[in-house]
Structure 1
Amino acid sequence: MSAPLDQHREAAGTLAQGGSCKRCDLTGQDLTEADFANADLTGVTALGATLVRARMYRVNADGADLRGANMTGAVLANGAFTDAQIDMATLIDADARWTNFKDAELSAANLSRGDFRDASFRDADLRGARLTRGRFEGADFGGADLDQTDIRGADLSGARGLTQAQVGRACGDASTLLPGRLIVPVCRAR
């Protein structure tokens, strides 16, 4: 059962001050341009929430359920999303530099044009995700599942932990930048 709307507004006000909303239910809420910098969102549920251009700098969202959330243009830099469920979420143009997505579920998520430099995707599930034209220099992909991941135009040239086996299950194009001698199959028309 979802909390009343007044409770959501109160939680957003508390979060704007770097407060805590552990295990809050923000499902379906419109939190466009909300300021959650330094907030504790551990275990929060925000299924399908609108977090467009939200300021979530240094947020702790470990174990959060953000499936289907729209985080277009959100600032997630230096955040913690370990073990978070971010499947089918939209992170287009997101700033997630130095963010920890270790063990996160990001299947079918759209990370297009995002800045994920020095982020950790260690052991993350990126199956079917779109990383098109994103920046991933210094990002750690050790153990990440890239099966059917679209990396067309992505800059992975300085990424760490990428193997030929991982990249071989993804797809890209001539503008995809990869480290070393890794080769990515060309995406087929969808």
Structure 2
Amino acid sequence: MKSIILLTTSLLLITGTLNPLNSADPNDLKKLEKILPKRPKILDLSNADLRNYNLEHVDLRRANLQNANLSGMVLDNLKLDGADLRGANFTDANLKSVSLRDAKLQGAILNNATIVYSTFVNARMEGTQLKGTIIESSNFERANLKNAIFDNSQITMCNFKNANWDGASFEDIQEDRNSWYW
């Protein structure tokens, strides 16, 4: 009986008929990872509405979250390395110790977010909006920040070594550039 349920669940997940994340409950994600014989190579959460949920200690490396609504979320110790977050909405989200190495964030919206102890090494952030965002102790080394908008943001103790700033906007930012690493 267990193998029939497992096979049925796996087929529903593969065909997209069952979207385990409609509930957006992190416990449901953990349960599904335990029952699936193998984790899908790429978890597709594109266009998902996950706002106001708390995702903590979840591994979403290489996940497709393109155009997902993550506004108001608490993202704590989340692994999003290599994830596709193009056009994702992180407005008012709290990112603490989030790893976004090699993530695709082109056109993402992080307005009024709080970003602390997070890693954006090699992230593609062209055209990303970070208006009114608090950014502290985070690593943007080698990130592509071309045309990113940091207007009205507060930036302290961040590493921007070898980042691409071409066309980026920094109007009315509060910063301590002495605490930035270039």
Q: Normalising by the residue count of structure 1, what TM-score does the alignment of the two structures yield?
A: 0.77
Is 1:85 matched with 2:104? yes
Q: Which residue, out of 45, 67, 70, partners 2:64?
A: 45
Superposition RMSD in Å: 2.1
Q: Which residue, out of 43, 51, 61, partners 1:32?
A: 51
Mapped partners of 1:32, 1:73: distance in 2: 10
Count how many residue pairs are aligned between Structure 1 and Structure 2: 160
Q: Normalising by the residue count of structure 2, what TM-score does the alignment of the two structures yield?
A: 0.80
Is 1:3 matched with 2:23? no
Which secondary structure state, in structure 2, belongs to the residue aligned with residue 81 of structure 1? coil
Uncovered stretches (5+) of structure 2, i.e. residues with no partner: 1-13, 34-38
Q: Deviations over 1:122-149 (max 9, x none)?
A: 0000000001111211011000000000
Residue 22 of structure 2 contacts residue 48 of structure 2 at CA under 8 Å; is this kept in 1? no
Which structure is larger by alpha-carbon Rg, 1 or 2? 2
Q: Which runs of 4+ in 1 moved over 2 A?
A: 1-10, 15-23, 158-162
Which amino acid in structure 2 is aligned with residue 3 of structure 1? G
Q: Map residues 97-112 of structure 1 onto 2, 5 A cutoff.
A: 97-112=116-131
Choose 55-64 or 20-29, whichever is displaced more. Answer: 20-29
Q: 1:23 maps to what in 2?
A: 42
Is 1:134 matched with 2:147? no
Mapped partners of 1:153, 1:99: distance in 2: 23
Uncovered stretches (5+) of structure 1, i.e. residues with no partner: 163-190
Which secondary structure state, in structure 2, belongs to the residue aligned with residue 36 of structure 1? strand
Greater per-residue strand proportion: 2
Choose 19-28 or 137-146, whichever is displaced more. Answer: 19-28
Greater per-residue helix proportion: 2
